[in-house]
Amino acid sequence: MTTDEQYMFRCLELAVKGLGRVAPNPMVGAVLVHDNRIIGEGWHQYYGGPHAEVNCIHDAIEKGNELLIPQSTLYVSLEPCAHQGKTPPCDQLIIRHKIPRVVIGCRDPFPEVNGNGIAHLQTAGIEVVEGVLELQSLKINKRFFCFHQKKRPYIFLKWAETADGFMGSGTKERMLISGAATNMLVHQIRSQEAAIMVGSNTVAMDNPQLTNRSGSGAQPVRVIIDRKLNLHRDYHVFDQTVKAIVLNEIRHHQEHHLQLYQLNPELPFIQSVCAALVALRLQSVLIEGGAKLLQLFIDANCWDEAVVIRNNQIYAHQGVRAPVLKNRLPVEQNTIGEDIVSYYTF
């Protein structure tokens, strides 16, 4: 690993501290290095807050290293922003502090930035090195890049199934498949995504809470597919503790923690759902059920990642069949208690 890669690796370690807290902004980490010594570091800590470069430079100043900044290299995992958003542009901050060299993990695909931050730095006479640990830099912001490049949310599928391939009883009697340790994993996954989605049948049959109960991270927005607005308000998903969005075919409406959002009838169903999520600025969604909704996304080839929890000790013999990922092999498998957790990528 080269020296530049070592410091970029540190940027990535810092960046992921913002997981679940900065969306729809990207996770970014930055370090200032003088004479092979880190004199300041920072990361984007929460949406609307100072960017990584700002926190890094402030950290260097607070540590008494202000005079060393014009002699240092700034490492940042994503191209510095070049526009006025909730915070001022970071490229101008770098220029003002006369930092002579900037090393970047990857470019920012956001239209107002894409290449502009780099161009501004170069015009100011700053040496810019691009593409250091680029693949790793792209990977940590897979949700952000998917949203801006594919114009849809990053879609994560998740379900639990029995040894004989069922995920529900088909009645209001809830079928417990995964163990306690695996359930904690599920809550951690929930904390990383902007939204969690289920269909109206899942709400009616299981009355789920759709919350992150891992003790860390943010609460995902609840998204419910209820085309005809048949669900009553007594279910947990409407308890007003977390924002709920109901995608439907009838009307738009907003009240307190509940938003009704009308799907575009001129688009195919999955496309209309994705368009609604983009309009709602939900950068990623965890789809947990039911089986029909999951299979619709699978059949439309509209997903990015999936986790399937299989309990090989439980046989249902009948009920709701689990979705099928045809011709897909897991990229990773872990055993947690009696559960086999398989991870898939599209």
Q: Catalytic residues, which ones?
A: 53
Q: What does the buried/exposed string (b/e) look like for 210-227 if buried means 16 or more CB atoms within 10 Å of the residue's CB?
A: bbbeeeebbbbbbbbbbe
Quote the strand ranges of the chain, DSSP E. 29-34, 37-43, 73-78, 101-106, 127-129, 154-162, 166-168, 195-199, 221-225, 244-248, 253-255, 258-262, 284-289, 305-311, 320-321, 332-336, 339-345
How far out from the chain centre does Cα 32 lie?
27
- The tokens 């498949």 sit on which residue? 177
In DSSP terms, which residues pair with 258 in a beta bridge? 244, 255
Calculate the alpha carbon distances from 192 to 125, 128, 187 in Å. 39, 32, 9
What whole-number distance in Å separates Cα of residue 314 and Cα of residue 162?
5
On whether the CB atoms of residues 93 and 117 are closer than 8 A, the answer is no
What whole-number distance in Å separates Cα of residue 141 and Cα of residue 43?
14
